[in-house]
């Protein structure tokens, strides 16, 4: 069994999508092993997204992700990282197929509803950042 880190972003929380998003992971067969509603400070946001530091949208991303509460989760299951990314869909909702969370609920890459770790190493790192 593998763990991954998934987070409903401020747009998903404010739109009342936590329940529907959690249900999708439960229906797929994931176990929720930890979860919390929390608000990121800029330090945590910049640390989480440090690999994007040089991107032109970095400031906008940090503003957005700190703009309201997020719902952070640790999910456990077989091939958790890859299976969660499949449910989440492509980074840009325009490319995300219907049936994925971003494909069904989002239209804009800057507010794409949900985060999911993209590798086993990043899952470990992100779980450590949010749950310690």
Q: Which of 66, 67, 82, 91 binds ligand IDP (CB under 6 A)?
A: 91
Tell me whether residue 36 is annotated as binding. no
> Toward ligand IDP, which CB reaches closer, 37 or 110?
110
Dihedral Cα 76, 16, 13, 32, nearest 10 deg:
-10
Is 115 annotated in the active site? Answer: yes
Hey, is 92 helix, strand or coil?
A: coil
Tell me whether residue 102 is annotated as binding. yes
Q: Which residues from 28-87 bind ligand IDP, rule CB under 6 A?
A: 52, 57, 60-61
Residue matched to tokens 């998903």: 12
Tell me whether residue 20 is annotated as binding. no
Cβ-count burial of 29 within 10 angstroms (0-12 exposed, 13-18 middle, 19+ buried)?
exposed
Would you name the residues annotated as active-site residues?
115
Binding residues for ATP: 9, 57, 85, 91, 102, 112
């Amino acid at each position: 069994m593998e763990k991954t880190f998934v987070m409903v972003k401020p747009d998903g929380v404010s739109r009342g999508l936590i329940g529907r998003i959690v249900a999708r992971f439960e229906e797929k067969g994931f176990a929720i092993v930890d979860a919390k509603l929390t608000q990121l400070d800029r330090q945590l946001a910049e640390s989480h997204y440090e690999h994007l530091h040089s991107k032109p949208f970095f400031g906008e991303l940090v503003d957005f992700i700190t703009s309201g509460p997020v719902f952070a989760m640790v999910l456990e299951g077989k091939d958790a990282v890859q299976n969660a990314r499949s449910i989440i869909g492509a980074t840009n909702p325009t490319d995300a197929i219907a049936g994925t969370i971003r494909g069904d609920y989002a239209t804009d890459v800057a507010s794409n509803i949900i985060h999911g770790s993209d590798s086993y190493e990043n899952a470990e790192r992100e779980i450590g950042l949010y749950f310690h």
